[in-house]
Amino acid sequence: TAVSSPLHVRRMSSSGGPTPPFTTLSVSRPAETITHVEICRPEKRNAMNKAFWLEMVDCFNQIAEDSECRVVVFSGAGKLFTSGIDLMGMASDILQPEGDDTARISWNVRRVITKYQETFSVIEKCPKPVIVAIHGACIGGGVDLITACDIRLCTQDAWFQVKEVDIGLAADVGTLQRLPRVIGSRSLVNELAFTARKMYADEAKSCGLVSRVFPDKDTMMAGALEMAGEIASKSPVAVQGTKVNLIYSRDHSVPEALHYMNTWNMSMLQTQDLMKSAQAAMEKKSLKDITFSKL
């Protein structure tokens, strides 16, 4: 059953610090149907510590069940989006795993990696579209995060870096799996992953990593919220069904995805939203003037 507003959210669009019970995230409601989630560790360059990896899962699981929310905007507080993994905070999990022998140590490392992978997979599993707004730097785990989002925007000064090879590991929580599907050029993905070089905003747009570039953060956030408002005005049955089927289609063959779509819409077409949207089109009304039931 859908739950109405399970999150403790601020009724504003900018951060005033983490939102309890979270210690790394600020959650606000800039509009009735839009949730703004912000990484909120500006004093640590939004580095991803142990709490962050757990809180992201709790946050997005709650958003998935929040019948008020139709769209999510995700951003970072302070001077940059994220500097990636907090190596000092994560050292015990990564460098000192528990276990009496190789098998047990490996089993525990696998369990830890699986848990961290869920931190970003939960964004895809959430049926609400997620717009991520990136400014400054997006390093390491930040690339894992943004490739799991649905729409990526950035500022002109933003840069991106698949940093993991520089710290002695292969990226293991989503970049190597999602970035090739986002960009489409295996050669470019391989270059970024092998060299750990920086990619700047213009190249990110030209290769398809981001769809829009804005002159500064304030302009970007205004654009992200405007886009979120446009999406939120549509039927939530249509929007969330679209996201679910886009993700399914990415991971399956065309015949399999068509079969899934067929099964999906045999029930989802039986919605009042279809008639409301059609009537609005005939009467040349904006969908923003139409009231759709919560989902």
How is residue 85 annotated by DSSP?
Answer: B
**From 39, 85, 123, 183, the catalytic residue:** 85
86 has catalytic annotation: no
150 has catalytic annotation: no
Q: How many CB atoms lie within 10 A of CB 210?
A: 26
**From 76, 78, 84, 141, the catalytic residue:** 141
144 has catalytic annotation: yes
**From 38, 124, 164, 273, the catalytic residue:** 164
Phi and psi of 111, rounded to 5°? -65, -40
**From 65, 118, 157, 172, the catalytic residue:** 172
Sheet with 212-214: list strands edge to edge.
25-31, 34-39, 71-76, 130-134, 151-155, 212-214
**From 38, 124, 144, 150, the catalytic residue:** 144
**Quick one: 149 exposed, middle or buried, by C-beta within 10 A (0-12, 13-18, 19+)?**
buried
38 has catalytic annotation: no
Within 66-185, residue ranges assigned H as helices are 87-95, 102-125, 141-147, 175-183
85 has catalytic annotation: yes
Cα angle 240, 68, 121 (rounded to 5 degrees) comes to 50
Which residues are catalytic, by number? Answer: 85, 141, 144, 164, 172
